[in-house]
Chain A
């Protein structure tokens, strides 16, 4: 099977006053019609990897790669206009900062209706019905009120769910979801995950699921990349995450608080400078 997306030797760099920050350092991976998890500590380059695929790194940041191929087309060679079409139709991303991706001066309803009409040329009334269905699908309790509300009037978890609804409207081939459920309680989280799951299984969507929740990723995803300092340090089947070998992954697992067994202190990670220098693991077939 040829992958949907294939990335070779991706770098993201930011020149700053105090030198160049290398946020992503030469990673390679591919995505099929699967649920691919990316985990790793804060600052390890997860969000920048997702944004780089869509060429959404703000200047002065620089993206370099041998290729970022969607099917067989290298996204790095496309014009900005072509790239916009890819972003609207083929690859959607749920950003880590959901409320910032919504228009603050437009009601939620107007934004959902607009997104829907842009995509399917439906009538206003149809689009409205669809929008309400989408909100119900992500377990919003009172969709009629939410349609009339502005983004700042939403709770943290409601903002996340609205963004997910929004990103699924164009029926993308690939969804990049950056911490999409970090503000959701377990039951709502389950409902949102099952929507994404259905899209992968029924429509063959490829999902990149960025999260720091190791238990969640190991239960929900098929495959997991573990990032550290801009590199991939380990790749494994999601259900084997708890047997992961790399000391960094083991350290991450060890620092989780447990509901059933109280502990006075949580173990913190002892970082080994050698981890930074180890070459990135290839996660391509």
Chain B
């Protein structure tokens, strides 16, 4: 390959608004970043700063946006089609809201697999449950019969089902205990290596971001204040005050 590869994701001058025009809230202000194919990009920063909103704009869940977003070079418009969801999947921050209460684990996973034209659905469901550390004993449970962490693992299994190329992970392990977190993070690392997947990962845990990502954007109050490499983060090489503050606060927490 002599040509430079098209990035998996290019976001340029993204603004996102919520609410009616006369009193709309400007949740993301002029955000730009690029994620190369096979890379893993972190989004960190203040609670309420717009991290989830960026992922929602990408997946079509925050319709009031302007700027350009490209997935594998293709510019996104107002609507997303099924092809988009086969290549881009999202794991939502809130495992309680993201599963339908009347659908069993089996239904959630089989339906997703069916929708994306998979064969051997039965085997694939069991395999997905194994992958996220749940096992087939959980297959016929309903969401209310699962703990918070168990639900999150079902949500991760569902996102993996269509074998996407890009995974948007919104606090994928913040509802999980550390041992399950380790299993999921290892699984995500393996999948990325095997299938050359691209990740965008939101987390408030800098140790998790440092473990999983090569680069991260730091957000505050709707803006990306800085994009820096993980090495720079580890060395405390930050340009903005907010990033320095965040690094200092996290350093205190590292035991």
Contacts and interface: CB of A to CB of B under 8 A. Distances in A.
A251 B182 CA distance: 11
B177 A40 contact: yes
Interface centre among B25, B44, B149 (most CB of A within 10 A): B149
Given A155-B52, A182-B175, A185-B45, A258 B207 contact: yes
Given A242-B255, A258-B254, A252 B150 contact: no
B210 interface: yes
Interface in B150-206: 150, 153, 170-171, 174-183, 185-186, 189, 204, 206
Given A97-B96, A185-B46, A252-B178, A262 B211 contact: yes
B71 to A, nearest CB: 24
A112 to B, nearest CB: 17
B144 interface: yes
B93 A183 contact: yes
A260 interface: yes
A186 B252 CA distance: 10
B178 A255 contact: yes
Contact of A42 (B46, B171, B180): B180
Nearest to B212: A257
B177 A41 contact: yes
Contacts of A269: 179, 182
Interface stretch (A10-18, A29-37, A79-87): A10-18
A184 B204 contact: yes
Contacts of B180: 41-42
A92 interface: no
A111 interface: no
Contact of B182 (A18, A40, A161, A268): A268
Interface string B104-148: 000000000000000000000000000000000100110011011
Closest 6 CB pairs of A and B: A42-B149, A157-B47, A212-B177, A266-B182, A255-B182, A97-B96
A257 B96 contact: no
Given A96-B148, A186-B253, A268-B179, A256 B204 contact: no
Interface centre among B171, B176, B181 (most CB of A within 10 A): B181
Given A157-B47, A179-B175, 14 more contacts: A99-B96, A100-B96, A155-B47, A156-B47, A158-B47, A185-B44, A186-B246, A212-B181, A219-B253, A258-B211, A258-B254, A259-B234, A262-B234, A266-B186
Interface residues of A, number: 61
Contacts of A214: 178
A283 to B, nearest CB: 19
Given A100-B96, A188-B46, A252-B178, A262 B210 contact: yes
Interface string B2-23: 0000000000000000100000
Given A99-B97, A156-B52, A257-B210, A188 B47 contact: yes
A256 B178 contact: yes
Interface string A189-228: 1100000000000000000000011111011000000000
B94 interface: yes
Classify the interface of chain B: helix, strand, loop or mixed: helix
Nearest to B138: A43
Nearest to B211: A257
Interface of B: 18, 25, 44-48, 52, 93-94, 96-97, 137, 140-141, 144-145, 147-150, 153, 170-171, 174-183, 185-186, 189, 204, 206-208, 210-211, 221, 234, 245-246, 249-251, 253-255
B96 A259 contact: no
A153 B150 CA distance: 25
A248 to B, nearest CB: 9
Interface in A38-91: 39-44, 47, 58
B173 to A, nearest CB: 10
29 contacts: A16-B145, A41-B149, A41-B179, A42-B153, A43-B147, A47-B147, A47-B148, A58-B144, A140-B48, A141-B48, A155-B47, A183-B93, A184-B47, A185-B46, A187-B246, A188-B46, A188-B47, A212-B177, A219-B253, A251-B179, A252-B177, A255-B178, A255-B181, A257-B185, A258-B211, A259-B207, A259-B210, A259-B251, A262-B211
A185 B254 contact: no
A217 B180 CA distance: 18
Nearest to B230: A262
A2 to B, nearest CB: 32
A255 B186 CA distance: 11
A96 B27 CA distance: 25
A12 to B, nearest CB: 12
Nearest to A40: B177
Contacts of A256: 178, 182, 207
B27 to A, nearest CB: 9
A23 B139 CA distance: 18
B179 A252 contact: yes
Nearest to B177: A212
Contacts of B221: 141
